[in-house]
Amino acid sequence: MAQLQDEVFIDEIRRVKQTAFGVAYLILKNTSDCEDAMSAAIEKAYRHFDTLQQQSRFRAWFLQILRNEAYAILRQRRRFFVTSEMPEGPSSAETDPSRSLDLRAALMQLSESKRNALYLWQEGYSMEEISMILNAPAGTVKSRIARAKEALRQYLEVD
């Protein structure tokens, strides 16, 4: 039984790994810190996997743990990062490099809360899942996404 549970856990981590790294990167903006946060989140999730009541909520549950670990790293190290890099996820690939730089610059103009909500939405998470991950009401999440999209539209139309 324990081996089956371990296999389920590993499969779930594999499914969420790329998105999770993107979420951590949006917060930490540093690859090595993201790896630390991922390791800590995986360990914590594994220890508490038996407390998860609905396996269908694993992604949101794990991303919430990861987000908490990422913010703990920020508090612990008391560092502030300034960067123009965005995580390289499956849906952030651009064919035109100059357009990619414009989009990256536009994304960095957004507040962290809008950027996180937009990223998770773009990765296919439901409003309910995003709401749980960001610990914000669904209406707030919807407005953050709408405002982020409008800000990006305005920024990119200026060319």
pLDDT in tens, 74-125: 888 654 433 334 444 444 444 444 555 677 777 878 888 898 899 889 888 8
Contact 67, 133 (CB under 8 A): yes
CB 117 within 8 A of CB 148: yes
pLDDT at 63: 94
* pLDDT score at 81: 39
> How much is the pLDDT for 109?
84
Q: Where in the chain is the domain with CATH 1.10.10.10?
A: 96-159
* 63 vs 78, residue with greater confidence: 63
pLDDT in tens, 30-62: 899 999 999 999 999 999 998 888 888 899 999
Tokens of 131: 């709401």
Q: In the 3-class helix/strand/coil scheme, how is the chain assigned residue by residue?
A: CHHHHHHHHHHHHHHHHHHHHHHHHHHHCCHHHHHHHHHHHHHHHHHCHHHCCCHHHHHHHHHHHHHHHHHHHHHHHCCCCCCCCCCCCCCCCCCCHHHHHHHHHHHHHCCHHHHHHHHHHHCCCCHHHHHHHHCCCHHHHHHHHHHHHHHHHHHHHCC
Looking at residue 92, what is its pLDDT? 42
- Domain 96-159, classified CATH 3.40.50.2000, yes or no: no
Q: CA–CA separation, 16 vs 67, rounded Å?
A: 13
State the pLDDT at residue 146. Answer: 93
Mean of all residue pLDDT scores within the chain: 82
CATH 1.10.1740.10 in the chain is located at: 1-82
The class of domain 1-82 in CATH terms is: mainly alpha
